[in-house]
Amino acid sequence: MHKLSLPASLTRRDWGRAALTIALAPWSLSAQQALGAPEDAKQRVRWRNDPFALGVASGQPRADSVLLWTRLWVQEADAALNTQALAVQCEVFADEALRQRVGQWTVMTHAQRGMSVHVEAKGLQPARAYWYRFTCGSASSPVGRTRTTPAAQDKVAQLRMALASCQHFEQGHFTAHREIAQQDLDLVLFVGDYIYESSNPRYQLRAHQGGVPQTLDEYRARHAQYKGDADLRAAHAAHPWVMTWDDHEVVNDYANDRDPKLTDPQVFLRRRAAAYQAYFEHMPVRVGPDAANPANMRIHDRMAWGQLADIWTLDNRQYRSYHACPDPLKGGGRVVMGCNELADAQRSMLGIDQERWLTQGLNTSKAAWKVVAQGTQMSSTGLATPLGRSAFTDGWDGYPVARERFLQNIADAKLQDVLVLGGDVHMNVAAQLRVQPNDEKSPIVASELVTTSITSRGMGETLAAQIRSNNPDIAHLRPDERGFTWVQITPEGVQSAFKTTANPVQPGSAFGTQAQFAVQRGVAGVVKG
């Protein structure tokens, strides 16, 4: 028996509660009050164009709930609807044929929240698939499929994920998402660069509409263009997504309240607020920007996959210390040598609060595997130079003391089976993580897999070869191909496969296996095969 969270016909009080199940932005309440009566929820809006053209999505699964998302896309012919609050129904079914409805929710949306819809579907059973769809007046959405996590005490046999990041719309087609949609997976783990704000005219298979976004409407338009891609919509409709962001969701190489142009922080924070708001409006995430301070939005999170795995998704951007030794005219990350600031123990990639939250969580976790998913590469990519070892200051090499704190804690607390997953660098990487990078005397304490980009171009082979030869901890590093990483976790170990195709990705591109890496339970470090 599935618990019916709300009856199909709602009393006035129930309806109010239903509307409150959306992740509330400050204006949602007033919209709901303006509407008042439950009959309005049954308004018969007649659409001329399909308002569900941006698709449906689910995310942040739990054992008894999942977040369901859509955004009404109001086109020219329906523009009059932009001034109204609209009621959207969401139904959840236990079967693909949509015969056994287990829950129905009605929520309100309107233009001030970008016509976005976030429904927390509660009262679900653990470890099973559900199907869902939205309706608004005369229009119905495509059907999405999602999945709840196993219950906390469940001894689970496996977790199968696609790890993905970096999908520059202009630099390739989202064919990898078509492939992800067809895979038998429990979830998609997306670790950042969902949109890109910028363009590189040299690598353009298709074009962004509009210029570099600055305002809420411009970020909304950019997200909507990405969601206009059928392959991306298919991957969202097929699996729940667990997400964090990196920099390009706002602007390249931003750090906390500082953008690479060293804009006045008050001005940049308004842009960050617009970017975070648009991100929330387009993603299956539960929490949006802080009502009191809309430039802040909590994205970091922890979820459990029964007793098999705890998964942390970290925020590497919002709370980080500024880049060390920046170019005073350019800001942002760069390659430095002999930068003493790197040794400053006060500097943090995650911010002190998130660092503490992560450490505490890791040290008390009872899960077999501790999976730390975050935006970028943790293993070092520095090169020996006459001026000392080089460091790229935007990645973990730019926060070496914070990295050491994270890895030293794993050693001190004797944590086993820590797997770090990342993206951002547009190359597949498998690496050993030692407290002291590349120091054979320093023990391997964790294993790292970094996924290549869905589309974004990677670095050249000359630099890649230098990185490989300067960093013995790196077991595999290839920037030439695009794709995603298949990861399967069982009580005995981790199996992974870099699923790739040639750059740039074309609509018909076929995916093969570039390399496979495993991690054995109880033995830190990646092993080929």
- Choose which of 78, 197, 424, 473 interacts with Ca ion (CB under 5 A): 424
Q: Which stretch binds Ca ion (CB under 5 A): 245-253, 297-305, 435-443, 502-510?
A: 245-253
In angstroms, give the least distance from the CB of 193 to Fe ion.
4
In angstroms, give the least distance from the CB of 301 to Fe ion.
21
> Maximum distance among all alpha carbons in the chain?
75
Name which of 21 and 456 has its Cβ closer to Fe ion.
456
Beta bridge partners of 163: 189, 485
Name which of 105 and 396 has its Cβ closer to Fe ion.
396
Q: Is 246 in the site for Ca ion (CB under 5 A)?
A: yes
Q: Which stretch binds Fe ion (CB under 5 A): 165-173, 281-289, 336-344, 412-420?
A: 165-173
Name which of 100 and 198 has its Cβ closer to Fe ion.
198
In angstroms, give the least distance from the CB of 251 to Ca ion.
10
Q: Which stretch binds Fe ion (CB under 5 A): 34-42, 143-151, 159-167, 373-381?
A: 159-167
Name which of 113 and 403 has its Cβ closer to Ca ion.
403
Q: Which stretch binds Fe ion (CB under 5 A): 68-76, 81-89, 163-171, 358-366?
A: 163-171
Number of CB atoms found within 10 A of residue 364's CB: 9
- Report yes or no: 268 and 213 within 8 Å, Cβ to Cβ: no
Name which of 186 and 247 has its Cβ closer to Ca ion.
247
Nearest to 57 by CA among 288, 283, 275: 283
Bond preceding residue 504 cis, omega within 30 of 0:
yes
Name which of 424 and 448 has its Cβ closer to Ca ion.
424
Counted residue by residue, the chain has a size of 529
In angstroms, give the least distance from the CB of 426 to Ca ion.
9
In angstroms, give the least distance from the CB of 274 to Fe ion.
20
Total of chain residues touching Fe ion, rule CB under 5 A: 3
Distance of alpha carbon 510 from alpha carbon 491, whole angstroms: 31
Q: Residue with structure tokens 């087609």?
A: 173
Total of chain residues touching Ca ion, rule CB under 5 A: 4
Q: Residue with structure tokens 């929330």?
A: 280
- Choose which of 102, 119, 166, 489 interacts with Fe ion (CB under 5 A): 166
Distance of alpha carbon 234 from alpha carbon 182, whole angstroms: 9
In angstroms, give the least distance from the CB of 171 to Fe ion.
10
Per DSSP, the residues of 484-527 read EEEEEE-SSEEEEEEEEEESSPPTT---EEEEEEEEETT--S-E
Name which of 246 and 281 has its Cβ closer to Ca ion.
246
Residue 247 interaction partner, one of Ca ion, Fe ion, none, beta carbon < 5-8 Å per kind: Ca ion
- Binding to Ca ion (CB under 5 A): which residues in 464-503? none
In angstroms, give the least distance from the CB of 145 to Fe ion.
28
Beta bridge partners of 272: none
Q: Which stretch binds Ca ion (CB under 5 A): 78-86, 124-132, 140-148, 424-432?
A: 424-432
Amino acid code (one letter) for 511: F
- Report yes or no: 464 and 427 within 8 Å, Cβ to Cβ: yes
Q: Which stretch binds Ca ion (CB under 5 A): 366-374, 421-429, 456-464, 510-518?
A: 421-429
Cβ contacts of residue 439 below 8 Å, gap of 6+?
Answer: none
CA dihedral 289, 291, 296, 297 (to 10 degrees): -30
Q: Calculate the alpha carbon distances from 425 to 146, 375, 389, 479 in Å.
A: 29, 9, 19, 8
DSSP 67: E
Task: Please state whether beta strands 428-434 and 116-121 pair in parallel, antiparallel, or not at all (unpaired).
Answer: unpaired
Q: Is 193 in the site for Fe ion (CB under 5 A)?
A: yes
- Binding to Ca ion (CB under 5 A): which residues in 181-220? 193
Q: Is 81 in the site for Fe ion (CB under 5 A)?
A: no
Task: Please state whether beta strands 187-190 and 159-164 pair in parallel, antiparallel, or not at all (unpaired).
Answer: parallel
Name which of 156 and 324 has its Cβ closer to Ca ion.
324
Cβ contacts of residue 355 below 8 Å, gap of 6+?
Answer: 348, 402, 405, 406
Helices (H), 347-398: 352-364
- Choose which of 78, 197, 229, 247 interacts with Ca ion (CB under 5 A): 247
Q: Is 315 in the site for Ca ion (CB under 5 A)?
A: no
Both tokens of 138, joined, read 């005369």
- Binding to Fe ion (CB under 5 A): which residues in 431-460? 456
In angstroms, give the least distance from the CB of 11 to Fe ion.
49
Q: Is 229 in the site for Ca ion (CB under 5 A)?
A: no
Distance of alpha carbon 334 from alpha carbon 348, whole angstroms: 17
* Cα dihedral across residues 270, 274, 275, 276: positive or negative: positive
Residue 104 interaction partner, one of Ca ion, Fe ion, none, beta carbon < 5-8 Å per kind: none
Residues that bind Ca ion (CB under 5 A): 193, 246-247, 424
Residues that bind Fe ion (CB under 5 A): 166, 193, 456
